[in-house]
Structure 1
Amino acid sequence: MFVSFFPSPRLFFGSAVLWSLAAVLVWFFLARDAGSLIGLANPPEGTAPIVGVSRFFSAPFLWFYVYFGGTVAIFAAIWRRLDPHPYFNWSVLGSALIIFVLYFMVEVSVTINDWYGTYFDLIQKALDPTTKGEVPASDLYVGLAEITGVLLTYITIAVLNAFFTSHYVFRWRTAMNSFYTERWADLRRIEGAAQRVQEDTMRFARMFEDLGTSLISAIMTLIAFLPILAALSHKIPAIPVLGSIPYSLVIVSLLWAVFGTGLLAVVGIRLPGLEFRNQRVEAAYRKELVYGEDDPGRANPRTLKELFEGVRRNYFRLYFNYLYFNVVRYGYLQADTLLPFFVLVPAIASGAITFGIFQQVRASFGEVRDAMQYLVKSWPSIVEFLSIYKRLRAFEATLAGEPLPAIDREFIGRGEVAGSSATNNG
């Protein structure tokens, strides 16, 4: 699954995590203000943030682009020398490009958050009877034009990134497909081997990329928005239940996300295994139908009825488990939409914050909560991904000369053991 696309996967991923952590620490503690050495100094503290497209071409951003490119170049040069993998450009440099785009998307969100503060304060001033007529319509149009430019930039980058990641995922599928087909003689006896090579490789690459980028985006969002949320916490005098505490908004978002993640993990613990079994019974049924196209002795009504009964039984079990899982999941997510308003009620009622600050707090709070709720948002995808991983894991075990995973040795369909010659020979 990984060795076909990445150089020395275990060592590569471990070194990538350590290198990234070191690069982040060096940036925040040493390199962030070093751009002045090449004429890319940070603006003085207290300077109002730029909320237009020019923000992404300002000195701090240009210096970060240089720093990011340098750290990637050093890491890539070392790995190209250690292991010149045939898919090196896609797996290493392609992954770095995706990570950079994720960073850019997070910065777009930060820019929009800054715009909320200035623009909604402007709206409040325009609507206030005591300052009626002091805000010209041109100022409101200019504010809309600024954020429109940012959104158009976001759309352009998002479209190009979607195009690139589609090719990235297909290259990974190509690598896995080549790896497994070259070893087909050893893998062909595994139940549903054809489906695993033809379909599961694509789904695995796509879902791993989706879940991986979501996780990295969540981490970057936390890095970008936690300081903002911590600063905004000082403007909130008190919150319900907890009262007046330091970093109140950060604490509430953390506690709520941990609660939701733990809750969903508990109620959804059976779903990965059920999804895996679902793919197994579907594969057995489909395989018998395919054999029946060429062999009149196969796919007789009784056999098909037994196999479809296995499909029906597993689907109904899956539906029941998703019933209570979705009750909890959707209930939590609906409560989640009301949480920011509940937390901000005392500050709103006392007039401690302006409309712009309210919008900033709400948006920042939402970004941080969404990042912390990565598992809550991604749980159905994680369930499906784990079931695909379990199917491809049988290939890995076979090639390594290990016994098939326990779940692959269970009886399914007509009571035949997955991977046995009985299934293949009828």
Structure 2
Amino acid sequence: MFKSFFLDRRWFRWSILGTALILYVTWYKVQIDVQVNEWFGSFYNLVQEALTTPNAVEFEEFLAGCIEFFNIVSIYIVIAVALEFFVRHYVFRWRTAMNDYYMRHWSKIHHIEGASQRVQEDTMRFARIVEGLGVSFMRSIMTLIAFLPILWTLSESVTELPWIGKVDHSLVYLAILSAIFGTVLLAVVGIKLPGLEFKNQKVEAAYRKELVLGEDHESRAEPETVKELFVNVRRNYFNLYRHYLYFDVAKWSYIQYTVIMPYIFMGPTIVSGAITLGVLQQILRAFGKVEESFQFLVHSWSTIVELMSIYKRLKAFEVQIESAITAEKAAVTD
């Protein structure tokens, strides 16, 4: 899964240099986010001044603030589109490297149930998910590096917390505690999902194989056999849906309820008028970025479950290849 792409000289430009390029551009996008956060502060202060004192702000000044935002995000759009285009090619090259490796050993593994699906579908899904999760994880780290100092400084404007009182840099601690709570919560309620996803692919592969064999052999894919296999598929899907039900309840409850948390904890500061609208927007946006970075596992848990399932299937696939190669070497030695 990894050696065929990252340790093969043929793919050096894509695997090593391509990865470095993706990470650099991701960091540049984070820096643009920082610029946007600074823009929020100045622009909303301008809006507050305009709303508080009529005609205190000229329309040209207001329009200049809007144009500044347009200029910042225009660069972001160009970079984001170019990066997405490059990533699609990057993922396909990774799939190609895996596909080439598996096909070189096809004679050793073609008898394995679901072999065709693993080569044709799982390679693409694995490369796409690993790339996506990898970039998301690195973006989370980079966002923390960029926004944590900002939130640390802006938190000094929060005079006190409700029911607690004065806590220095309180919003940083709030973001960390919120993310830890969400991560532990979803890890506990979703502990059975990886195994169910893995089992789901097994029953799907058995059903699909019987149908494929039925295309060429009249003795296969008999109604009773197909019915029994599909019952297994349905049973596992319904079990999976039931477990996803309480997982989704926990996930969406956590994500939605935590939206209001920074407002509650900043309540005394807001009602006392200790900060301006611009500073409030900067704090909220910085808090959101930091909290989202700490919540990487929360937002990615469903994708991680899918990846674990695919990894298990491909790992079992590669074990078969390695066993066959070892057996061949032993036969030659004898």
Please tell me whether residue 137 in structure 1 is matched to residue 59 in structure 2.
yes
In 1, distance between residues paired with 2:231 and 2:201? 14
In 2, distance between residues paired with 1:396 and 1:206? 19
**C-alpha displacement at 1:337, in angstroms?**
1.3
2:47 equivalent in structure 1: 123
SS at match of 2:256: helix
1:188 equivalent in structure 2: 110
Q: Which amino acid aligns with 2:255?
A: L
SS at match of 2:274: coil
Please tell me whether residue 171 in structure 1 is matched to residue 93 in structure 2.
yes
- The aligned runs of 1:403-422 (5 Å cut-off) are none
**C-alpha displacement at 1:299, in angstroms?**
0.1
**C-alpha displacement at 1:228, in angstroms?**
0.2
The counterpart of 2:141, out of the listed 214, 219, 224, is 219
Q: Which amino acid aligns with 2:119?
A: V
1:99 equivalent in structure 2: 23
Q: Which amino acid aligns with 1:390?
A: K
**C-alpha displacement at 1:243, in angstroms?**
2.3
Q: Structure 1 length normalisation: TM-score?
A: 0.75
Q: Structure 2 length normalisation: TM-score?
A: 0.95
1:276 equivalent in structure 2: 198
Give unpaired runs (5+ residues) of structure 1. 8-83, 403-426
- The aligned runs of 1:237-276 (5 Å cut-off) are 237-276=159-198
In 1, distance between residues paired with 2:261 and 2:125? 35
Q: Which amino acid aligns with 2:159?
A: P
1:86 equivalent in structure 2: 10
In 2, distance between residues paired with 1:241 and 1:4? 57
Please tell me whether residue 113 in structure 1 is matched to residue 12 in structure 2.
no
- The aligned runs of 1:192-211 (5 Å cut-off) are 192-211=114-133
**C-alpha displacement at 1:241, in angstroms?**
4.0
Q: Percent identity?
A: 53
1:5 equivalent in structure 2: 5
In 2, distance between residues paired with 1:323 and 1:118? 43
The counterpart of 1:351, out of the listed 273, 281, 284, is 273
**C-alpha displacement at 1:168, in angstroms?**
0.1
2:74 equivalent in structure 1: 152
**C-alpha displacement at 1:399, in angstroms?**
2.4
The counterpart of 1:324, out of the listed 237, 246, 262, is 246
Count how many residue pairs are aligned between Structure 1 and Structure 2.
324
1:396 equivalent in structure 2: 318
In 2, distance between residues paired with 1:233 and 1:297? 72
In 1, distance between residues paired with 2:45 and 2:309? 49
Task: Render the CA deviation track for 1:135-165: whole Å, top value 9, x for unaligned.
Answer: 1011110000011011111111111111000
Contact 2:171 2:262 in 1 (8 A): no
Q: Which amino acid aligns with 1:282?
A: E
**C-alpha displacement at 1:242, in angstroms?**
3.7
Which stretch shifts more, 154-163 or 167-176? 154-163
Contact 2:196 2:240 in 1 (8 A): yes
**C-alpha displacement at 1:132, in angstroms?**
2.6
Residues 242, 190 of structure 1: alpha-carbon distance in 2 compared, 3 angstrom cutoff = farther
In 1, distance between residues paired with 2:165 and 2:314? 51
Which has the higher relative contact order, 1 or 2, with Cα contacts under 8 A spaced 6 or more apart? 2
In 1, distance between residues paired with 2:92 and 2:192? 31
Q: Which amino acid aligns with 1:218?
A: S
Task: Render the CA deviation track for 1:314-370: whole Å, top value 9, x for unaligned.
Answer: 001001000110110110011121112112111101111100000001100000010
Q: Which amino acid aligns with 1:288?
A: E
**C-alpha displacement at 1:188, in angstroms?**
1.5
Which stretch shifts more, 238-247 or 180-189? 238-247
In 1, distance between residues paired with 2:161 and 2:28? 33
In 2, distance between residues paired with 1:340 and 1:115? 21
Contact 2:122 2:310 in 1 (8 A): yes
**C-alpha displacement at 1:385, in angstroms?**
0.7
Task: Render the CA deviation track for 1:261-304: whole Å, top value 9, x for unaligned.
Answer: 01000100110110111111111111110110110000000100
**C-alpha displacement at 1:175, in angstroms?**
0.2
- The aligned runs of 1:39-58 (5 Å cut-off) are none
SS at match of 2:4: coil
In 2, distance between residues paired with 1:336 and 1:206? 30
Q: Which amino acid aligns with 1:105?
A: K
1:367 equivalent in structure 2: 289
Task: Render the CA deviation track for 1:39-58: whole Å, top value 9, x for unaligned.
Answer: xxxxxxxxxxxxxxxxxxxx
**C-alpha displacement at 1:401, in angstroms?**
2.1
Give unpaired runs (5+ residues) of structure 2. 325-334
Q: Which amino acid aligns with 1:170?
A: F
Which stretch shifts more, 132-141 or 201-210? 132-141
RMSD after superposition: 1.1
In 2, distance between residues paired with 1:92 and 1:355? 45
Which stretch shifts more, 255-264 or 390-399? 390-399
Q: Which amino acid aligns with 1:262?
A: V
In 2, distance between residues paired with 1:148 and 1:230? 28
